[in-house]
Amino acid sequence: MSKRAQLVYQERTGPQESRNTLKCVQFYRDENFKLILEAPLDISLSDMELKLVNFGYDYYQDTEMAPETVNLQVFTSKTGSLCVCYSRAPDIPEEVTYSISFLHKGYSKTFTVALERTDSLQVKEVAFLNLEYYVAAYLPGHFLHLLNIQHPDLMCYSLFLTGEDASIELLHDTSIQSICKLTLLDCCSGRLFTVKINEDSLMRFMWNSKLDRDRLAALHCALVHLGSAADLEDQIIQWILENLSPCHTFDPIQEFIIASLYWRMCPESSQLDKLLPYTSLLYWNGVVPGIACTTDIISLPILKVQNCKGFWEKLNLYLENVKYAEPQLHYNNNVLRREWYKLLSEEREGRGAPTYLKNIFENARKVLSNLDTWSMEERLVPFFQEEDCQQQLLMGLMVAQLKDHLMRHLQHVGKKKMDQIVVDYVSNLLDLMCRMMEAVWRKYNLHPCIFSFDKRGSTAEFAVFHIMSRILEAANGLCMPLPPGFHSLHLGLGVRCLPLHTLLHYIDNGVLHLTETCVRKLFKDLDNTEKNEKLKFSIVTRLPEAIGQKICQLWNHPVTSNFIARNYVKLLLEKLGTRQRGRPIPDRMSIHVEFLPLNYLASMLAEIEDQGLNPFKEQDHVNAKFVEEMALKHTAMLLGL
């Protein structure tokens, strides 16, 4: 087992100038050691040639050098993060300044906090705590600042607490020092404490927060700790369901899904955390009252030893990414959306490459098979079992594009392992949506049965419809696939809960999607009352052609008969193309009608049928005679005869 030690070395470069360097030394069990890393520090230290860091509390050094000494801490984490935390005693009683250099990111942040009160200020030094994924700056009685060390770029991912929210149990107005990860020393009593983020307190803070920045920071902090609390994910989903409308600057559904995927998948590979998206936000313009922040670019550390393992290998990956990072290192769905729309258009026009599409749908099959193996218990949500080709196309395309993105940066990962990573990612995405839907079903106590369309929906069903609309909006915003049967269930709730004009408005604007499964059930459940006929007719006229041909066979009505006849003529004439026709066959006419255009059309269709081009062979009653009869009936209806 090896240990690391950090020290700061001060080198004189002139009479009034000096240069400070952080040196990290690795000690081994055989008593050997190596200088592994050097990093220049742009901070001002007291006149010492050597300062040991994180070696505990030195009472004599603290008392003898209190006017000159600085508070300096170096923190590492298992993810490869390396942070230098630095502060001095405040020059102005009303404010405190501290800096954190994220050496693995190549920049530092300096924070200046305006204190709410200064009369009872006993402890003037900011204490820095190592909480693994977070570094905390703590001034007892005033504030607790949790900084996300993996993603410190946006202030909204760091939690700044004041008042009662900033208190640490058993540690109040006392001087403390971080000895090692999650361990604190009370400098007055000499006692050691283990410190960690309390999940229950964090969830209470989320529920009580009124500001988006606090909600967002608490959400990310909670997701970090999902692995240590089994029911924490369910609590977060319940919070999301109650806070869909209050959040104005971010979508809690999008943020939950993206961040949850990030923390689910990152243990798979040490580099996935640098390649997978961790947020749905591109920028954040908000400010935190009472705290000012400046960001400075710093020099990157220099590794003195190559081919290091463990922590140093992960740190080196961070540094390489900072040096050679592409503008879009993290995966995003912009290209996915364009390619998906392109494939949908090609598939509708029959122009898609068969082999490519086959591979895409095979990717989707793997995702759905993977998802089925995870869902051993019976689902509460009555998702219709159907093949949604559009969503399967999006699933398979997402697998392909995510794989291409990861392979560019993880060339050392084998093909089989990479295939499993990307399939797991998309499967986890769908699983998260299913878990959200399960929570919605439990919250409103809906039955796990397939409802019928001959009854109106309840208030609970309308609430579920609204939540499903928000999930759909979140998925569309990030071009994420939806679970199989989502659109049919959403449409079914819409039919039950919405008035007709609102339902049609939602369909026309793409909020509701007409699926064959749901429309078939609708036409079977509803009788032909005047109200239901109006609904059916409105839906038939909006169906895609491929689905419309199938649905019209279920409804024995003049409208659908007319639709079938028109479509039959269209398909026959398309099949005819430029074929040379023979002479008309008037004896095929069932009734002689003195209407030459109809006579000519009927004889033409009869001849095409004789050539074996009938597109409706499985429907014996659909032929030229059927078209003739429908044309006469429709004409008579228009003339009022």
Alpha helices by DSSP H, listed for 225-353, are 232-242, 252-265, 311-324, 334-349
Cβ atoms 603, 586 nearer than 8 A:
yes
If asked whether residues 100 and 207 sit together in one domain, one would say yes
CB 386 within 8 A of CB 488: yes
Residue 542's pLDDT is what? 87
**Residue bearing the bigger pLDDT, 349 or 590:** 349
Q: Give the neighbor-by-neighbor strand order of the sheet with 71-76.
A: 71-76, 82-87, 95-102, 107-114, 291-297
Ranking 57-66, 507-516, 561-570 by mean pLDDT, the lowest is: 57-66
Question: Could you give the residue ranges of the DSSP H alpha helices within 325-388?
Answer: 334-349, 354-374
Q: Pick the last residue of a domain from 269, 297, 325.
A: 297
569 neighbors 608 (Cβ within 8 angstroms): no
Decide if 418 is inside a domain: yes
The answer to whether position 6 is within a domain reads no
Looking at residue 564, what is its pLDDT?
A: 64
3-state secondary structure at position 152:
coil
Between 133 and 600, the higher pLDDT residue? 133
Among residues 493, 518, 544, the one where a domain terminates is 544
Over the Cα atoms of the chain, what is R_g? Answer: 34
Determine what percent of the chain is predicted with pLDDT higher than 70: 74
Same domain, 586 and 610: yes
How far is it, in rounded angstroms, from Cα 241 to Cα 219? 13
Question: Mapping DSSP to helix (H, G, I), strand (E, B) and coil, where does residue 135 land?
Answer: strand
* Mean pLDDT value of segment 257-278: 83
Query: Helix crossing, 199-208 with 232-242: angle to 10°?
Result: 0
Q: Which domain holds residue 170?
A: 82-297
Calculate mean pLDDT across residues 338-347: 88
DSSP 83-128: EEEEE---SSTTEEEEEEEETTTTEEEEEEEE-S--TT----S-EE
Residue 49 has pLDDT above 60, yes or no: no
| Residue 200 confidence (pLDDT) above 60 | yes
Amino acid 123: pLDDT:
55
Specify whether 231 is located in the same domain as 359: no
Query: Is the pLDDT assigned to residue 66 strictly greater than 50?
Result: no
- DSSP SS3 for 192: strand
In a domain, 42, yes or no: no
pLDDT for position 583? 45
Both tokens of 297, joined, read 């670019």
pLDDT of residue 609: 62
Given this model, what pLDDT does residue 499 score? Answer: 94
Mean pLDDT throughout 219-232?
77
- What mean pLDDT is reported for the chain? 80
Evaluate whether residue 571 is within a structural domain: yes
pLDDT at 631: 66
Residues 592, 530 within the same domain: no
Task: Tell me, yes or no, whether 540 and 598 share the same domain.
Answer: no
Could you tell me if 441 and 533 lie in one domain?
Answer: yes
Q: DSSP class of residue 171?
A: B
**589 pLDDT exceeds 50?**
no
CB 399, CB 197: distance < 8 Å: no
At residue 179's C-alpha, the angle toward residues 50 and 187, to 5°, is 95
Give the pLDDT band (50/70/90) at residue 508: very high
- Position of tokens 């399967």? 392
d(CA 387, CA 361): 11
Question: Which pLDDT does position 632 carry in this prediction?
Answer: 63
Does any domain span residue 205?
yes
Q: How many residues does the chain have?
A: 641
Question: Is 269 found in the same domain as 234?
Answer: yes
Residue 506 has pLDDT above 90, yes or no: yes
Number of domains in the chain: 3
Query: What are 293-322's pLDDT values in tens digits?
Result: 999 999 999 998 888 888 888 899 889 888
In a domain, 36, yes or no: no
Beta-ladder partners of 194:
183
> Looking up tokens 């591109």, which residue turns up?
282
Q: What is the pTM (predicted TM-score) of this model?
A: 0.82
Residue 498 pLDDT level (bands cut at 50, 70, 90): very high
* pLDDT tens by residue, 607-633: 666 555 555 555 555 666 666 666 666
Q: Identify whether 48 is part of a domain.
A: no
The least confident of 230-239, 348-357, 385-394, 469-478 is: 348-357
- Of the pLDDT bands very low, low, confident and very high (cuts 50, 70, 90), residue 527 is confident
Q: What is the pLDDT of residues 376-432, one digit of tens each?
A: 567 788 887 777 889 999 999 999 999 999 998 888 888 999 999 999 999 999 999
Measured CA to CA, the distance from residue 220 to residue 256 in angstroms comes to 8
Instruction: Name, of 24-38, 65-79, 618-632, the range with top average pLDDT.
Output: 24-38
Question: Which pLDDT score, from 0 to 100, does residue 556 have?
Answer: 67
Q: Which of the pair, 230 or 38, is modelled with greater confidence?
A: 38
pLDDT at residue number 27: 85
Instruction: Indicate if the pLDDT at residue 634 is higher than 80.
Output: no
Residue 447 lies in a domain: yes
Residues 214 and 341 in one domain: no
Q: Do 540 and 446 belong together in one domain?
A: yes
Q: Is 273 exposed, middle or buried (0-12, 13-18, 19+ CB in 10 A)?
A: buried
| Res. 512 pLDDT band, cuts 50 70 90 | very high
pLDDT of residue 154: 81
Averaged pLDDT, 460-484: 95
91-122 tens-digit pLDDT: 777 889 999 999 999 999 999 998 877 665 55
Is the same domain home to 384 and 522?
Answer: yes
pLDDT at 586 > cutoff 50: no
Tell me, yes or no, whether 591 and 535 share the same domain: no
Regarding whether 447 and 382 lie in a shared domain, the answer is: yes
Those residues whose C-beta lies under 8 Å from the C-beta of residue 207, and which sit 6 or more positions away, are 239
